[in-house]
Amino acid sequence: MKTALYSIAAILALATTPAFAQLPAPLKTDVTTRVNAMYPWLDTVYKDLHAHPEIAFQETRTAGKLAAEMRKLGFEVTEKVGKTGVVAVLKNGAGPTVLVRTDMDGLPMEEKTGLPYASRVRAMSDGRESFVTHSCGHDVHMASWLGSARTLVELKSQWKGTLVFIAQPAEEIAGGARAMLDDGLFKRFPKPDYAFALHSWPLAHGTVGFNSGPVSSNSDTIEFVFKGRGGHGSAPDKSVDPITIAARFVVDVQTVISREKDPKEFGVVTIGAIQGGTVGNIIPDSVLVRGTIRSYSPAVRAKLLEGVRRVANASAAMAGAPAPDLKFISGGEAIVNSEALVNKTEAVFRDAFGAANAQRMPAMTASEDFSVFVNEGVPSMFFFTGIYDPKAVLEAAREGGKPIAFNHSPFYAPVPEPSIKTAAQAMSLAVLNVLGR
């Protein structure tokens, strides 16, 4: 995933101060006290999860560990929902049903953080053996998910309702949420009145970022095969060169962004892979081009898809080549947060963490399949929590400052204690704020 880092000033500029009732002060203090007290347990869980990541739909060890911990807390737990997903339900009288999601999967890449608990795990991915690491913070998410669950259990006398805590597989390939839904998530288990999820982000630890409306992007993958007629590199007139067709497409497709899309709307077309040919003096028969398309609005999404298709066909037609094979793979849809729920939760976050540490922030340009649950008509909020030393974040924001590792970097290394504590506190408060009391 790739997007821009935003300065503290930019985030502060988006701040608002809604007027909503606050949670009782003793309850907020109690949440903080309990999370602090349980942190040694969370630290052990976190480092174990970090050292033993599993890739999409292979999260059997991870799921088993989470399921065991939730059973100890008193939840009714069902495993293997959507292949490797976990659903944990706790009923505590009449009141709203609230879903809390964590993701579980790691990424097929090598960790280079040098941490004493760094992953050295290998697994098969797409038919090849690869290192696996939690370089997107899902280990932070799982630890804070458990922390929130335990906090809410310890505070059962303070709320009424039903908790549905789900551990979702395969977020990184945008398949796990759909798999759980297709396996009867909202039919076999209570359908939520509200849903929450969080994501660690390269912000200062102790901070929480959020917004209403779109907070992630639509995602579409392209796999195009440009066809030609192979031949000798010394006699290109005897062939139809698919490499030049692909090259023309890679350059010309950017005019869809610069000349067709409304410049005020977000949209990206990135070509990440071109595969064709074997040696320098042979013109191949075909070239494979892979890329990604990102957007926020459905209208922009449709325009980009149509424009990319048209440019691909035109690039081939200009060379007198056969029409290319065009494959579009739909990924996650944009997460659209409920404005009412965000406003209600924002008031609690700003009161608990301080106005400077709980701020509105721009949507991320990456994608997330939490939108699958949201699009079932569930008022939802997806928010972000910081993971880095505040001094390092400030330094990175300065011109020429040392950059900090972004999600999916082999050097991605959250500072565990303040990151997990803030995430667990924020999620506990968000859920308590909508449960009956």
Task: Convert the pLDDT of each residue in 228-251 to its tens digit.
Answer: 999 999 999 999 999 999 999 999
Residue 408 labelled as part of a binding site: yes
Indicate the fold that domain 8-216+334-432 takes in CATH. Answer: Aminopeptidase (3.40.630)
Calpha distance 70→276 (Å, rounded): 50
pLDDT of 17-32, one tens digit each?
A: 333 346 888 899 999 9
Q: How far is CA 355 from CA 15, 16, 207, 351, 361, in A?
A: 8, 9, 10, 7, 13
User: Of 9-13, 82-86, 220-224, where does mean pLDDT reach its minimum?
Assistant: 9-13
Q: Is 197 helix (H, G, I), strand (E, B) or coil?
A: strand
For the chain, helix, strand, coil in percent to 5 are 35, 25, 35
The widest CA-to-CA distance across the chain, in whole angstroms, is 82
Query: Which of 32, 182, 177 has its CA nearest to residue 105?
Result: 177
Rg of the chain (C-alpha set): 24
- Sign of the C-alpha dihedral computed for residues 28, 33, 36 and 41 taken in this order: negative
> What amino acid occupies position 50?
H
Segment 360-374 mean pLDDT: 96
Do 153 and 73 form a contact (C-beta atoms < 8 A)?
yes
Residue pair 48/65 in contact (Cβ under 8 Å)? The answer is yes
Q: What's the token pair of residue 208?
A: 């929480």
Residue 276 pLDDT > 70, yes or no? yes
User: If you average pLDDT over residues 71-86, what whole number do you get?
Assistant: 98
Question: Positive or negative CA dihedral for 386, 387, 391, 397?
Answer: negative
- Phi first, then psi, for residue 77 (nearest 5°) are -115, 135
Judged against a pLDDT cut of 70, whether residue 7 lies above it is answered with no
Alpha-carbon separation of residue 205 from 353, 357, 417 (angstroms): 11, 9, 9
Per the annotation, does 205 bind a ligand?
Answer: no
Average pLDDT over every residue of 402-419: 97
Q: 3-state SS string over 209-267?
A: EECCEECCCEEEEEEEEEECECEECCCHHHCECHHHHHHHHHHHCHHHHHHHCCCCCCE
Domain boundaries, given as residue ranges, for the chain: 8-216+334-432, 218-330
Q: In the chain, pLDDT over 90 holds for what percent of residues?
A: 92
CA distances from 215 to 261, 266, 393 (A): 20, 12, 21
Instruction: Please give the C-alpha separations between residue 155 and each of 28, 32, 148, 423, in angstroms, as whole numbers.
Output: 11, 12, 11, 17
Task: Decide: helix, strand or coil at residue 316.
Answer: helix
pTM of the model: 0.90
* 386, 419 contact by CB (below 8 A): yes
Q: In angstroms, what CA-CA distances link 426 with 131, 171, 201, 381, 414?
A: 32, 22, 14, 12, 17
What's the average model confidence in pLDDT over 35-59? 98
The mean pLDDT of the chain is: 94
110 is annotated as contributing to ligand binding: no
> If one looks up domain 218-330 in CATH, what number appears?
3.30.70.360
H runs (alpha helix) in 156-216 = 176-182, 185-188
Residues paired with 225 in a beta bridge:
288, 325
Q: Which 3 state secondary structure label does DSSP give 12?
A: helix
% of the chain surpassing 70 pLDDT: 95
- pLDDT higher than threshold 90 for residue 131: yes
